[in-house]
């Protein structure tokens, strides 16, 4: 069983928490944010997931509390968090555009998750379009240029997404 922490309790962190709860090989051990009254924290409480409003300080005070951390904060914060997690030897899956680690689109290069301690999952638009573009590029020898425009619903863009 993989013990996972999530830092960032906004839309992305909360969505990820709900997905993790559906797996049988990842156990969420902490849902860490800054506001106990956020919608994400309320959902975690309903699901009996341990929470904290200490943000990164929780991980500093509880070293090696998990095997992997999903960083769902902002790019600026994720860059600061990366050192804390690296010092503890905790693998980071970064869902911000911080680009601390190599870029990962699991359907294209998932093996890098095994080789690096910090991987960057790129944007949701990139995760949605890159597999299709990768496939197209394999069958179009003379392809010179592809342009992709993506958007998300305004309601799904939380504070950190807007900051990024």
Active site (catalytic) residues = 124
Name the token pair of 122. 């790129």
* 48: alpha, beta or left? (left if phi > 0; alpha if psi -120 to 50): left
CB 31 within 8 A of CB 44: yes
What is the spatial distance between Cα 143 and Cα 117, in angstroms, rounded to a whole number? 34
For residues 162 and 37, give the distance between their C-alpha atoms in angstroms, rounded to a whole number.
Answer: 20
Q: Which residue, 158, 160, 15, 157, is CA-closest to 75? A: 160
Q: Helix 39-46 to helix 11-20 angle, to the nearest 10 degrees?
A: 20
d(CA 45, CA 31): 10
């Amino acid at each position: 069983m993989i013990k996972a922490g999530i830092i960032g309790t906004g839309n992305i962190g909360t969505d990820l928490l709900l997905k993790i709860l559906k797996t049988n090989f990842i156990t969420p051990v902490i849902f860490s944010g800054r506001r106990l009254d956020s919608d994400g924290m309320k959902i975690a409480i309903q699901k009996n997931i341990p929470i904290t409003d200490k943000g990164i300080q929780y991980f500093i005070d509880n070293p090696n509390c998990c095997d992997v951390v999903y960083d769902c904060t902002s790019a600026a914060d994720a860059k600061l968090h990366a050192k804390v997690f690296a010092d503890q030897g905790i693998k980071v899956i970064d869902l911000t555009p911080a680009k601390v680690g190599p870029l990962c689109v699991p359907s294209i290069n998932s093996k890098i998750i095994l080789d690096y301690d910090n991987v960057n999952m790129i944007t949701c638009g990139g995760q949605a379009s890159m597999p299709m573009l990768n496939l197209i590029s394999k069958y179009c020898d003379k392809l010179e240029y592809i342009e992709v425009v993506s958007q998300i619903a305004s309601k799904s863009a939380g504070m950190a997404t807007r900051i990024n």
